[in-house]
A and B are shown apart, each in its own frame.
Chain A
Amino acid sequence: MSGSMGEGPITEAELQAYADGRLAPARRRAVDAWLAARPEEAERIADYRKLAEALRSAYDPVSAEALPSRFSRTRVRWRRYALVAGWTVFGFLIGGIAGWELRDARQILAPSPDVGVVMARRAAIAHATYSPEVRHPVEVGADQEGHLLAWLSKRLGAPLRAPKLEDMGYSLVGGRLLPGDNGPVAHFMYQTQKGTRITLYVRTEAAGSRETAFRYAEEGRVRVFYWVDRKLGYALSSGDIGKDELFKVANVVYQQLNP
């Protein structure tokens, strides 16, 4: 480049560090002396400094700009990522943001034309069909939970668990097998002491499915949070409770299925 490498103990890397103001004082003085005898080199280094200043003054204003709205939207989306991808890391965040997130959730989640929408619709239909049942809400009751899980796991070809939602006020009623687009579907029902019911729809996903964040849909009066995790797709439905509460339950379900 400039021939400076061979002319003495001052290296090109040191000149770069000098231009960046990062040399230790002793070396800096050595470079000062070296440059004093080489005006062209001194000019080159001075130009580097000017260029660095020009760069900063050209682009620093960007970091002072107000963040475009797409980033506040994105921020909400990340938090949903966080819920799914890093629950253990981010659990502490949730309480604070959940309400805010839910306010924005519809506008962000509305345009999601993926297969999950179909699952949400199927789950909503199943919920609407079975949750009003008084005498036969489930095929196998919670009193035979071991049998229920073994049976559904075998039919879906994946080890299933029924989340424990007692802390949220919901106890397992039982479950049933449903036909689905990708094969058999497991359908769990929970209810409160007052009889408020929620259902969890679990289906196997095609190989290579991506994990997704929580998504939200409404089908008629039924609200659904749905997501894909590893090989299974989940949809949690309710016709009676609000979105906020359903979201909280969905979080607990997700946590329990991903210890």
Chain B
Amino acid sequence: MNEAQRLVDLIPRLRRYARALVGDRATADDLVQDTLERAWAKLHLYRRGTDLRAWLFTVMHNVHVNRVRAARPTDLLEDEMPELAQRAAQSDTLLMRDLDRAIARLPAEQRSVLLLVTLEEMSYEEAARTLDVPIGTVMSRLSRAREKLRSMMLGQSTTAKLKLVK
């Protein structure tokens, strides 16, 4: 199989992931373009027979981390995450238009895991390989990401409930 064609075939998925990762279209496509150029330049490092998609997403992850680092020297730490105003629970209708913003508020490391697993539907092992972290880290980041997203989107986190009880 021809890696070049497979890379090209993966562009729509890269764009989908990038859009969710960085939000706006132009920045996302810049990221995809940088990723693809880097992937081409590094393709000789790709080992045939291994997972090309995971390899490509690893390249994208690294490109993204470098871009973010270059753009602002200190990324927001998880603990410093600004609190969002709790929204009232809206039956089971998700506020789609707020999804972008909520995802953007996730710490970067949690966002990547959540998107690789839910959007890209990678196995936990693949996500761990892609991000070069242990699988336990993937699971804990996934759990934290979901709980944060849930609290932002649905206003139903356990903390929110505790606050309501007071």
Residues of A near any B CB (own CB < 8 A): 1-2, 12-13, 15-17, 19-20, 22, 43-44, 47-48, 50-52, 54-60, 62-65, 67-68, 70-71, 74-75, 77-79, 81-82, 85-86, 89-90, 92-93
Residue contact B139 to A13, C-beta cutoff 8 Å: yes
- Distance A108 CA – B86 CA, assembled complex (angstroms): 50
Chain A residue contacts of B32, Cβ below 8 A:
71
Chain B residue contacts of A89, Cβ below 8 A:
3, 43-44
Query: Which B residues between 110 and 160 are near A, CB-CB below 8 angstroms?
Result: 114-115, 117-119, 123-124, 136, 139-140, 142-144, 146-147, 149-150, 153-154, 156, 158
- Distance A64 CA – B41 CA, assembled complex (angstroms): 27
- Distance A74 CA – B8 CA, assembled complex (angstroms): 10
Q: A2-B158, A82-B43, A85-B44 are in contact. Are A70 and B33 (CB under 8 A)?
A: yes
Residue contact A78 to B40, C-beta cutoff 8 Å: yes
Picked from A1, A47, A71, A79, the residue with its CB within 8 Å of the CB of B11 is A71
- Any A CB within 8 A of the CB of B78: no
25 contacts between A and B (CB under 8 A): A12-B143, A16-B143, A16-B146, A22-B124, A44-B147, A50-B92, A51-B94, A51-B146, A54-B94, A54-B96, A55-B103, A56-B119, A58-B96, A59-B20, A62-B12, A62-B16, A71-B11, A75-B8, A77-B37, A78-B4, A78-B37, A81-B41, A86-B43, A89-B44, A93-B4
Picked from B2, B19, B139, B143, the residue with its CB within 8 Å of the CB of A59 is B19
Given contacts A70-B33, A86-B44, 13 further A-B pairs with CB under 8 A are A12-B139, A12-B143, A15-B143, A20-B117, A22-B124, A43-B156, A51-B118, A55-B119, A62-B20, A78-B37, A85-B44, A89-B44, A92-B2
- Distance A85 CA – B39 CA, assembled complex (angstroms): 11
- Distance A81 CA – B100 CA, assembled complex (angstroms): 34
- Any A CB within 8 A of the CB of B69: no
Residue contact A67 to B11, C-beta cutoff 8 Å: yes
Chain A residue contacts of B4, Cβ below 8 A:
78-79, 82, 90, 93
- Distance A209 CA – B63 CA, assembled complex (angstroms): 21
Residue contact A51 to B117, C-beta cutoff 8 Å: no
Which B-chain residue is minimally distant from A57 (CB atoms)?
A: B96
Which B-chain residue is minimally distant from A48 (CB atoms)?
A: B146
- Any A CB within 8 A of the CB of B99: yes
Chain B residue contacts of A62, Cβ below 8 A:
12, 15-16, 19-20
- Distance A25 CA – B127 CA, assembled complex (angstroms): 23
Picked from A22, A56, A74, the residue with its CB within 8 Å of the CB of B36 is A74
- Distance A145 CA – B113 CA, assembled complex (angstroms): 60
Chain A residue contacts of B144, Cβ below 8 A:
1
Q: How far is the CB of B88 from chain A (nearest CB, A)?
A: 15
- Any A CB within 8 A of the CB of B29: yes
- Any A CB within 8 A of the CB of B87: no
Q: How far is the CB of A17 from chain B (nearest CB, A)?
A: 7
Picked from A13, A16, A47, A58, the residue with its CB within 8 Å of the CB of B99 is A58
- Distance A71 CA – B32 CA, assembled complex (angstroms): 9
Residue contact B142 to A16, C-beta cutoff 8 Å: yes
Residue contact A52 to B19, C-beta cutoff 8 Å: no
Residue contact B44 to A63, C-beta cutoff 8 Å: no
Residue contact B2 to A55, C-beta cutoff 8 Å: no
Chain B residue contacts of A70, Cβ below 8 A:
29, 33
Which A-chain residue is minimally distant from B48 (CB atoms)?
A: A89
Chain A residue contacts of B94, Cβ below 8 A:
50-51, 54
